[in-house]
Amino acid sequence: KPTKERQRLPVVPLGIERDEFMKALKELGEQLGEEHVEINDKPLVDGWYMEHPNTHDMMTILDEEELVASAVVYPSSTEEVQAIVLWANKYRVPIFPISMGRNLGYGGAAPRVRGSVTIDLGRRMSAILDINPEDYTCLLEPGVSFYALYEALQARGYSHMWIDTPDLGGGSVVGNTVDRGVGYTPYGDHWAAHSGLEVVLPTGEVIRTGMGALPGNNTWQTFPYGFGPYSDGIFSQSNFGIVTKMGMTLMPNPGGYESFMYTFPHEADLAPLIDIIRPLRIGNILENVAQLRHVTQAIAALGQPRSDFFPGGDDDGGALSDDVVHAAATKHLAVGDHTWAYYGMSYGPDHIRKHKLALVDAEFRKIPGAKKVDPATLPADDYYFARDRIAAGIPDIHELRWVNWTPNGAHVAFSPVSPIRGTDATALFKLGKDTHDKYGIDFFPAFCVGLREMHLIVEIVFDRADPERRKAAMDCLREMVDKAARLGYGEYRTHLVLMDQVAGTYSWGGGAIMKFNERIKDALDPNGILAPGRCGIWPERYRGRGWEM
Ligand code: FAD
């Protein structure tokens, strides 16, 4: 009977009767403890970043009920994860593992198949199993956040080691890494920085990868490969296993660091600037995954709604014009008007930094009008200082501010990869800008420069309570993905809703890579229970039955 607390009839996964499903959940409760099996029958509450839901995507781009869990379960050990997997096989119930579920912009905590049982690994599996101060490594369970790892190093007095954090520190080190997320120190490629996994396979067996397969080893976190095929890759951005432990390498404290910021006046500075950045980055003079951000994002990072920037508060509904953007920059930004801002950090003792910074300065000043910003001129809560903390591996949540851009702010990302070349940057910028203008969406491009490639991260901020704005965001994204693919650019990661489309763009050889993935999926997961559809990989039982979006 509905009460205030119980207002929703829980969704039941397709292919099982409601009564049978409820009985099956009861059986699982008997194994895990009934308090660790939660039926999703309460109203869907979005909360906020630090109190996010695990039943759905708090920044949904579809109707919230579309991608929703039927229940959430909380294992406390690898053995309990195995028990859940065996249970799911018995009843053919789709399960969807999350570490902490803060995958905002990429689907949050939502499962790909409506009515899946979400396995929230983070709630009870949040131990830091080891921190090795000699090898500079750690071994983590899925519930360890970037904040928790940072605080553990501080608490143990390990100031000789740094962590690497994404822009928001509340996510899971394991969850972010298996989705191939990025941070902004020299250890910013998290997948490249991990060493060793423990994985529960979809049929319930457990494996340890790399040196973890050798009983008695002391190299699981120091040598990632072990012997034979390197299997870790198939457990990132996939649905082939549930990671229950992961090794991570830690960065040595570089013995000093110094952030720097340059601004550049014109949109057309992009191409020559990117060509200047390339050899500096590949040669490691620019040492971290640094960002080149557009001025619209600097305005949004003030944390004020976009309506504040229209003269007289007069929002005409379209994307902000260049005139409005530059007028707002002149009036509101401590650094004043500009088009591009480069945020970087130099690492090491003073004399080493000095040499590298002088090289950077000489190169960046080749762009007419380039300015180096003196941090002493900036207010204490300027975005610069958030970048400074992140590039020093100090977790933060300042970055959330730009999500206030619209009422009920939510965001979704378009993240194509290209070489670090001016021509590519210009092509992607134009593609993004034209498509945003067509849909009346403000354009927030940031180029995140890796070692030999860059991710263009474009965040579309939209009002999630407005179906029309949700649709505009979605249409804009879908169009950008297709246009980018036609030019040879692909996404490094994507939102749940776009996974089929993005996977479809990786179509060389008649879709050879997806055929390969499907063969692995069917071999490892014959009943198709684990995260069906994630990254566009559908198990045999679902294929060709209308699940793709
Ligand atoms: P989860 O949500 O737990 O996991 C992500 C996905 O990986 C899950 O949906 C699941 O499919 C899979 N998965 C997770 N754990 C397991 C497991 N144990 N076994 C198998 N599969 C698993 N991201 C970045 O990378 N860099 C950034 O700089 C960044 N900046 C952001 C800024 C803002 C303002 C916002 C809102 C988001 C940003 N994000 C960024 C995106 C996101 O917040 C982070 O990537 C976050 O770390 C992901 O959430 P999580 O760590 O809780 O992972």
Strands 95-98 and 117-120: what pairing?
parallel
245 ligand 1 Cβ < 6 A:
no
- The answer to the question of residue 327 being in a domain is yes
CA of 107 to the centre of ligand 1 (A): 9
- Domain finish residue from 120, 144, 166: 120
181 ligand 1 Cβ < 6 A:
yes
Query: Cα–Cα distance between 243 and 517 in angstroms, integer?
Result: 18
Residues 431 and 358 both lie in one domain: yes
CATH number, residue 201 = 3.30.465.10
Query: Cα–Cα distance between 364 and 269 in angstroms, integer?
Result: 11
492 is catalytic: yes
Q: What is the pLDDT of residue 318?
A: 77
Domain span including residue 536: 506-549
CATH number, residue 534 = 1.10.45.10
Residues 228 and 362 both lie in one domain: no
* Complex-level ipTM beyond the 0.90 threshold: yes
- The answer to the question of residue 53 being in a domain is yes
CA of 479 to the centre of ligand 1 (A): 24
Residues 140 and 40 both lie in one domain: no
Q: What is the pLDDT of residue 290?
A: 80
- The answer to the question of residue 183 being in a domain is yes
104 ligand 1 Cβ < 6 A:
yes
Cα 186 versus chain centre, distance: 18
CATH number, residue 94 = 3.30.43.10
Residues 246 and 266 both lie in one domain: no
Q: Is the dihedral of CA 418, 288, 366, 377 positive or negative?
A: positive
Residues 83 and 215 both lie in one domain: no
Residues 456 and 491 both lie in one domain: yes
Residues 42 and 149 both lie in one domain: no
Residues 469 and 530 both lie in one domain: no
- The answer to the question of residue 91 being in a domain is yes
Residues 211 and 263 both lie in one domain: no
- Domain finish residue from 236, 252, 268: 252
Residue of 383, 439, 492, 542 marked catalytic: 492
Residues 518 and 490 both lie in one domain: no
Going by alpha carbons, the residue nearest to atom 27 of ligand 1 is 166
CA of 215 to the centre of ligand 1 (A): 31
- Amino acid of residue 362: A
pLDDT string in tens for the chain (549-residue length): 334 455 778 899 998 999 999 999 999 999 999 999 999 998 899 988 889 999 999 999 999 889 999 999 999 999 999 999 999 999 999 999 999 999 999 999 999 999 999 999 999 999 999 999 999 999 999 999 999 999 999 999 999 999 999 999 999 999 999 999 999 999 999 999 999 999 999 999 999 999 999 999 999 999 999 999 999 999 999 999 999 999 999 999 999 999 999 999 999 999 999 999 999 999 999 999 889 999 999 999 999 888 888 766 556 667 888 888 999 999 999 999 999 999 999 999 999 999 999 999 999 999 999 999 999 999 999 999 999 999 999 999 999 999 999 999 999 999 999 999 999 999 999 999 999 999 999 999 999 999 899 999 999 999 999 999 999 999 999 999 999 999 999 999 999 999 999 999 999 999 999 999 999 999 999 999 999 999 999 999 999 999 999
- Domain finish residue from 450, 467, 495: 495
CA of 105 to the centre of ligand 1 (A): 9
CB 125 within 8 A of CB 228: no
- The answer to the question of residue 191 being in a domain is yes
CATH number, residue 346 = 3.40.462.10
Give the chain's domain count: 4
- The answer to the question of residue 47 being in a domain is yes
Residues 55 and 158 both lie in one domain: no
CB 191 within 8 A of CB 183: no
Which residue carries 């997806």 as its tokens? 514
Residues 67 and 153 both lie in one domain: no
Q: Is the dihedral of CA 459, 462, 465, 467 positive or negative?
A: negative
